[in-house]
Every structure is written in structure tokens, then in C-alpha cells.
């Protein structure tokens, strides 16, 4: 199979390569007739420009990349959709790239930027423990999304981040449970070690218990399994089963993601415990599914659309030099489903 290059097209049309280039890239100074002729032969011979060669020459492409860690996370999926739309509006192309769990997101970013001459990067998910040194090498604007509060040991002027304050929001959620009379509140937490959202949400849980003068008991802090997908339904299921088997009494269960919570509800059901009659369950994220399961899941809903839009706006502002790195925090909203109930006095004080 013959793979024509720009030279071949030029030769066939009896023009120079630059004319063909001009035709392809919609340059203004080109005769309409010649342009048409060129475009026709391009179609006829099935010429496809080589992007690698283009990128090599190009100084700057009207494009950004979104680097996602954990593509199966439904929360990200909806973020991506919005970002994609916003890019289209601005006539930017968006490169979606998937980072494997053992890869370093900044390293990947460095590569992609070199390869594609991008103007900006959005990081979705993953940790945020990156050395200043590495971050400095990343010369294009970038924004970390979905993490509103970040450990203090990272110098904040190096990067932008946008999201909800995971710690505070999860504390609010626990407050809500406490107000409903719950005291024995178990937590399902993933990636509690390291600087991840799991850790932040666990911190919020502890904050709230302390503030309410409830003892933090390690028996009620259930770490999900490390050997299977961290935020999966299955992990929520298995971890909850283990909790139940421990015979540790609890009246409420906070799962640090909706997927974990849905898995937990199934486990409770299978063990003959009713939600919310026997146990109240709350999740975190506010994914669409939370509103479809039975009973509807009470959860903290992150304003996906807002976050996504703010993220892309900030990125473009940094690109155009209008703004410096920023740290924006959005308010999440408590969505009351049907998976929680208030304990009555008798139950509360048992």
C-alpha cells in the first residue's frame, strides 16, 4: 500500500510542498483553485499528514491534555465530558491520557508536553505529592483538579488546584450523622496512607468525631484491600463483610466513595441488615448512580460542572498570562438520600 507524503501530493499536483502545506492548514495567501485541486488529490490518494512530523516542527499547538489516574472512576468521566465541551468551544483540542497506577503523573506530563507541544495540562486524580523540583520542570501551565485541600508541606505557589475541601466536606457529612444521633460510625477508607483523597476524607472523619467528643476507635476504621481496585464496588463489599464479621457494633457507615458505599449496602443487605433501618450508609462524590440505587444513597455531591468549568477557565487564564497559580475551593452539597435515618433517643443512648 502506497503511503503518500506531502511531497508526493505536491509532485502530483505540480506544485511546491509549501503550497500543499498552506492548503492543509488553511493559510490565507493561496489561490482558491489550487487549494481545491490539492484538496481533491489529497482525498483521492488518501493522504494523511504525519502528526509526529507536524509536532516536531510546531512550536505550539492549540491543545491541552487531561491526564487521568483511574479512568474507571465515574466521577472523572463526567468531569472529562465537561472539559471536552469547553475545549471545543475554545477551539482547542483535548488529548486524553490515561496514567497507570504505578506511573508518576508528572513524568508522563513531561513526556506528553514534549511530544505534542501542548499549552496546558489538567491532572485528574492521583496523589499530589510531587517535588517542587519536578514541578518546576513542567514549564506549561497546569492545574490539579479534584482536591481542594492539600497537605501543607507542598509549596502552594508551584501549582494550581481546584476542587472541594475533602477534609471539611467529609467532616460535615459526619456531623450530619452525629446530629441524627449516630455515635458508632464506621468508616471505609481507601489509600489512607500517603497523600491521597482517602487520607483527607479520613482526617475529616476524625476531625468531626473529635469536635463532637466521640472517641475515635480504630476498630471502626476499616481500610479497604490493597490487592484489588481501591475504590471498587467489590472492595466496598468485602471490606464491609469483614467489618460485620468483626461483630463490632455500628449504627452508621461512611464510605469514602459512592462506589464503596454501594458495595457496602449490598454487603449489609446480604447479611440481613436493612439500610437505613439497621445501619445508615453515606457515600462521597455524588455520582449519578447514587441517585439510582435502592435506597438512594445519601452522599456529598461535588459540583462537577462548576469544578470542570473553573478548572478549564483557570488553565486558560494561566495560559494567557492573566493569572498566577491559584487555589480554589468549591462547596459540596449534602444530598439526602434514603440510606440514612435518625436514631431515636433510646437507640442513641444505648
Interface contacts to a copy of itself, rule CB under 8 A: 1, 3, 46, 48-53, 55-56, 71-72, 74, 77-78, 80-81, 84, 96-98, 100, 110-111, 114-116, 136-137, 139, 232-234, 237, 262-263, 265-266, 269, 288-289, 291-295
Q: What is the largest CA-CA distance in the chain?
A: 92
* Contacting positions for DNA (CB under 7 A): 3, 5-7, 14-19, 21-22, 24-25, 28-31, 33-35, 47, 49-50, 53-54, 56-59
Instruction: For the beta carbon of residue 296, count every other beta carbon within 10 angstroms.
Output: 14
DSSP annotation string for 145-214: ES-SS--TTS-GGG-EEEEE-HHHHHHHHHHHHHHTT---EEEEESS-SSSSHHHHHHHHHHHHHHHTT-
**Nearest distance in Å: CB 41, DNA:** 13
Cell 506544485 belongs to residue: 15
**Nearest distance in Å: CB 53, DNA:** 3
Instruction: List the single partner that 7 binds among a copy of itself, DNA, none, CB under 5 to 8 Å by kind.
Output: DNA
**Nearest distance in Å: CB 51, DNA:** 8
List the one residue out of 220, 221, 238 whose CA is nearest residue 230: 238
Number of residues written out for the chain: 350
Of the pair 81, 217, the CB lying nearest a copy of itself is at 81
Instruction: List the single partner that 84 binds among DNA, a copy of itself, none, CB under 5 to 8 Å by kind.
Output: a copy of itself
**Nearest distance in Å: CB 295, a copy of itself:** 8
Of the pair 1, 346, the CB lying nearest DNA is at 1
Cell 520542570 belongs to residue: 137
Of the pair 118, 287, the CB lying nearest DNA is at 118
Instruction: List the single partner that 137 binds among a copy of itself, DNA, none, CB under 5 to 8 Å by kind.
Output: a copy of itself
Instruction: List the single partner that 16 binds among a copy of itself, DNA, none, CB under 5 to 8 Å by kind.
Output: DNA
Instruction: For the beta carbon of residue 139, count every other beta carbon within 10 angstroms.
Output: 8
**Nearest distance in Å: CB 162, a copy of itself:** 22
Instruction: For the beta carbon of residue 326, count every other beta carbon within 10 angstroms.
Output: 15
Residues 6 or more apart whose CB falls under 8 angstroms from that of 27 comprise: 21
Of the pair 212, 291, the CB lying nearest a copy of itself is at 291
- DSSP state at residue 307: H
Cell 468483626 belongs to residue: 246
Amino acid at each position: 500500500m502506497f503511503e503518500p507524503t506531502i511531497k508526493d501530493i505536491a509532485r502530483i499536483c505540480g506544485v511546491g510542498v509549501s503550497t500543499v502545506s498552506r492548503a492543509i492548514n488553511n493559510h490565507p495567501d493561496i489561490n482558491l483553485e489550487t487549494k481545491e485541486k490539492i484538496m481533491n488529490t489529497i482525498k483521492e490518494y488518501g493522504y494523511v499528514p504525519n502528526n509526529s512530523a507536524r509536532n516536531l516542527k510546531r512550536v505550539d499547538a492549540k491543545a491541552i491534555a487531561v491526564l487521568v489516574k483511574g479512568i474507571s472512576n465515574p466521577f472523572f468521566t463526567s468531569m472529562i465530558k465537561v472539559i471536552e465541551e469547553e475545549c471545543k468551544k475554545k477551539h482547542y483540542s483535548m488529548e486524553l491520557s490515561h496514567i497507570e497506577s504505578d506511573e508518576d503523573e508528572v513524568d508522563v506530563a513531561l513526556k506528553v508536553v514534549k511530544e505534542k507541544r501542548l499549552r496546558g495540562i489538567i491532572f485528574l486524580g492521583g496523589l499530589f505529592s510531587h517535588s517542587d523540583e519536578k514541578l518546576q520542570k513542567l514549564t506549561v501551565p497546569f492545574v490539579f483538579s479534584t482536591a481542594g485541600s492539600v497537605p501543607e508541606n507542598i509549596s502552594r505557589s508551584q501549582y494550581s488546584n481546584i476542587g472541594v475541601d475533602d477534609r471539611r466536606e467529609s467532616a460535615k457529612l459526619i456531623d450530619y450523622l452525629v446530629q441524627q444521633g449516630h455515635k458508632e460510625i464506621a468508616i471505609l477508607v481507601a489509600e489512607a496512607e500517603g497523600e491521597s483523597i482517602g487520607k483527607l476524607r479520613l482526617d475529616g472523619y476524625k476531625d468531626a468525631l473529635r469536635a463532637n467528643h466521640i472517641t475515635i476507635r480504630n476498630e471502626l476504621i476499616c481500610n479497604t484491600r490493597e490487592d484489588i481496585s481501591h475504590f471498587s464496588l467489590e472492595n466496598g463489599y468485602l471490606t464491609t463483610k469483614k467489618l460485620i464479621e468483626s461483630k463490632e457494633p455500628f449504627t452508621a457507615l461512611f464510605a469514602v466513595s459512592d462506589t464503596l458505599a454501594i458495595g457496602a449496602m449490598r454487603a449489609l443487605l446480604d447479611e440481613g441488615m436493612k439500610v437505613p433501618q439497621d445501619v445508615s450508609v453515606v457515600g462521597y462524590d455524588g455520582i449519578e448512580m447514587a441517585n439510582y440505587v435502592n435506597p438512594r444513597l445519601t452522599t456529598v455531591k461535588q459540583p462537577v460542572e462548576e469544578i470542570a468549568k473553573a478548572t478549564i477557565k483557570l488553565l486558560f487564564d494561566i495560559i494567557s498570562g492573566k493569572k498566577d497559580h491559584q487555589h480554589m475551593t468549591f462547596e459540596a452539597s449534602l444530598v439526602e438520600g434514603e440510606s440514612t435515618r435518625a436514631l431515636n433517643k433510646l437507640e442513641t443512648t444505648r
